[in-house]
A and B are shown apart, each in its own frame.
Chain A
Amino acid sequence: MASHPSTRTRRGPVTYLVRLLVIAYLFLLVAWPVYLVGKNTFADGMDNINGILEDPDIVHAISLTVQVAIIAVIINTLFGVGISLLLVRYDFPGKRLLSALLDMPLSVSPIVVGLALVLVYGGRNGWFGPGLESMGFQVIFATPGIVLATVFVALPLVIREVVPVLEEVGEEQEQAARSLGANAWQTFRRITLPSIKWGVVYGVVLSLARSLGEFGAVKVVSGNVLGETRTATLVVEEKYLNFDKGGAYATAFLLALVAVACIIIVSVIRPKEDR
């Protein structure tokens, strides 16, 4: 049957009322406040932006944030794609429990994440921390701790994007490739990966945004040492509390810019797989 182009959009007053309400709500809750941050940042021209870019400690914080985020995204992508394949294509005891537990990081408070990592990897009283430290490997109050915290909070994002795509694609193409003589790796690289590509990209972009912006968990595990373990989000807090609002707005603006860029990239990618 021919699908009918949507013609039945009869618009009553309710339609317009709901539309107006939704637009007003989003304007007051999101659009206007976000706009104001941009406006405050450039209230004195480029001074605020130049100010933070000339401060070596802030530049260090930003570069630390970017490095940590890249490492975290790589780890989460490898782990995420692997575990998604296992969850969708294989059967093993405890699969349902694992699948549920993988969502835990989304609903755990970042402060609890930090606490949990300190309890295990803390140098003084942690379960494994003292042992690792005696081998010369410091986790908490050092970069590895920041990486762990960041990986933790962004863990489910790739999985949540890839699993539905894998289910949608189904196994037939892979079986066809196998029957044509492809081995497991060839099948993955030439058939599976191209078909889940956009899901992976989407997950990566979301993970990147989440990783760059993590605050609470990093605050607990990093020690927040200026010029060493202070990340960009910690700079925002520090600057604001020290009455350097210009610096806080400028750093926040940069972070917000990256976040919004990520969303726009995603919204450009998404229609390709949806429609």
Chain B
Amino acid sequence: MTSTALSPDRPATSRRPVRSGRPLTRVSGLGLGVAMMWFSLLVLIPLAAVVVTASAGGWSTFWQAVTNEQTAAAIELTVGTAFAVTLVNIVMGTMIAWVLVRDRFFGKRALEILIDIPFALPTIVAGLVLLSLYGRNSPLGVDIANTRPAVFLAFLFVTLPFVVRTVQPVLAELERDVEEAAMSLGASRFTVFRRIILPSLTPAIAAGAALSFARGVSEYGSLVLLSGNLPMKTEVTSVRILSSIENDNLDSAAAVATILLVISFAVIVLLDVIQRRMVRRG
């Protein structure tokens, strides 16, 4: 045994400095006040109004509204499809991010642009876009308009960027020497991917999946032209809420909307937790 006394070294310096910031000054305090007022008027109070309206009628009214046969079917379809789409995105999104970061070929830049199109395209246009290939006059001969697969397809389209865009930067930042270390220890390329790369990507994949799920659950615009909004069949939650609004039944609309808000909020909390874990691992 070596007997060299190693003095305890100082903690690693590569750690990101803890973000604290300075206390508010008078001007910045005023700025924060104005910003909070605006944010409250625009976002917080209206969202609170949804929850308050939903709870105004008491638990039984709320429960009745959300367990209404047609509503329950819509919620089930929305959540189920969003879940399935998220699974596809986890696999395809990671693969796409992989290709964008690690592969090199002519036209890769064009793929980058394709990834962002679903994010920038108006949702109603997205519906029309999908209809042109998967609707009645499909050049492929695949007509899925007004069916459940159409809902799946629309979700797939609008949620495409999320996993890709959260995984991509993390993958690009991965240090290659970590993979080389694993290789020199005897790990095959597949083992390196499974045991070294994948665990490092997991938080990013989870974050992207959460965003993708939230987006799917809340989707409306792309379905309007594509799914036909058939009750019990292709009607999603947002459409259900809209028809309550149009029938001037705001209480029931608010009740169903609250379900969606709870899901959104859960996703936000989940993201916050994931982000904190990512920072801690450093």
Physical contact A–B (CB less than 8 Å): yes
Chain A contacts to B: CB under 8 angstroms: 8-9, 12, 15, 18-19, 21-23, 25-26, 28-34, 36-37, 40, 79, 82-83, 85-86, 88-92, 96, 98, 100-121, 125, 127, 148, 151-152, 155, 167, 184, 206, 209-210, 212-216, 219-220, 233, 236-237, 240-241, 248-249, 252, 255-256, 259-260, 262-264, 266-267
Find chain B residues with CB under 8 A from A86 CB: 28, 31-32, 35
Query: How distant is the Cα of A230 from the Cα of B218 in the complex, in angstroms?
Result: 23
Other than A90-B24, A121-B46, A256-B129, give 19 A-B pairs with Cβ distance below 8 A.
Answer: A9-B104, A21-B95, A26-B115, A30-B157, A82-B31, A83-B39, A104-B265, A107-B215, A109-B264, A114-B245, A116-B47, A119-B250, A127-B45, A206-B119, A233-B122, A236-B125, A240-B225, A255-B125, A256-B122
Q: Decide: A127 and B49 in contact? CB cutoff 8 A.
A: yes
Find chain B residues with CB under 8 A from A259 CB: 117, 120-122, 125
Find chain A residues with CB under 8 A from B80 CB: none
Our pick among B22, B99, B123 for the contact of A19 (Cβ within 8 Å) is B99
Query: How distant is the Cα of A69 from the Cα of B120 in the complex, in angstroms?
Result: 14
Query: How distant is the Cα of A273 from the Cα of B85 in the complex, in angstroms?
Result: 33
Query: How distant is the Cα of A59 from the Cα of B134 in the complex, in angstroms?
Result: 30
Our pick among A19, A103, A120, A155 for the contact of B45 (Cβ within 8 Å) is A120
Find chain B residues with CB under 8 A from A237 CB: 124, 224-225
- B31: nearest chain-A partner, CB-CB: A82
Query: How distant is the Cα of A86 from the Cα of B272 in the complex, in angstroms?
Result: 19
Which of B23, B99, B214, B269 has the most A CB atoms < 10 Å from its CB?
B99
Find chain A residues with CB under 8 A from B269 CB: 100
Q: Decide: B237 and A109 in contact? CB cutoff 8 A.
A: yes
Q: Pick out which of these stretches binds chain A: B6-14, B58-66, B254-262.
A: B254-262
Query: How distant is the Cα of A233 from the Cα of B129 in the complex, in angstroms?
Result: 13
**B205 within 8 Å of A by Cβ?**
no
Given A115-B253, A151-B42, check contact A252 B129 (CB 8 Å). Answer: yes
**B163 within 8 Å of A by Cβ?**
no
Query: How distant is the Cα of A255 from the Cα of B211 in the complex, in angstroms?
Result: 25
Q: Decide: A213 and B121 in contact? CB cutoff 8 A.
A: yes
Q: Decide: B250 and A125 in contact? CB cutoff 8 A.
A: yes
- B223: nearest chain-A partner, CB-CB: A216
Our pick among B19, B31, B128 for the contact of A236 (Cβ within 8 Å) is B128
Chain B contacts to A: CB under 8 angstroms: 19-24, 27-28, 31-32, 35-36, 38-39, 42-47, 49-50, 53, 92, 95-96, 98-99, 102-105, 109, 111-125, 128-130, 132-134, 139, 156-157, 160, 176, 189, 211, 214-215, 217-221, 224-225, 237-239, 241-242, 245, 250, 253-254, 257, 260-261, 264-265, 267-269, 271-272
Q: Decide: B49 and A30 in contact? CB cutoff 8 A.
A: no
Q: Decide: A26 and B96 in contact? CB cutoff 8 A.
A: yes
Our pick among A19, A108, A256, A264 for the contact of B113 (Cβ within 8 Å) is A264
Q: Decide: B250 and A104 in contact? CB cutoff 8 A.
A: no
Find chain B residues with CB under 8 A from A21 CB: 95
Query: How distant is the Cα of A175 from the Cα of B225 in the complex, in angstroms?
Result: 55
- A121: nearest chain-B partner, CB-CB: B46
B256 to chain A, nearest CB (A): 9
B29 to chain A, nearest CB (A): 8
- B23: nearest chain-A partner, CB-CB: A91
Our pick among A22, A31, A96, A110 for the contact of B220 (Cβ within 8 Å) is A110
Q: Decide: B132 and A119 in contact? CB cutoff 8 A.
A: no
Query: How distant is the Cα of A232 from the Cα of B237 in the complex, in angstroms?
Result: 24
Our pick among A98, A120, A214 for the contact of B122 (Cβ within 8 Å) is A214
Our pick among B42, B128, B239, B254 for the contact of A152 (Cβ within 8 Å) is B42
B125 to chain A, nearest CB (A): 4
Find chain A residues with CB under 8 A from B45 CB: 120, 127
Our pick among B23, B35, B46, B189 for the contact of A116 (Cβ within 8 Å) is B46
Given A37-B125, A90-B22, A155-B42, check contact A111 B241 (CB 8 Å). Answer: yes
Given A111-B220, A260-B113, check contact A90 B49 (CB 8 Å). Answer: no
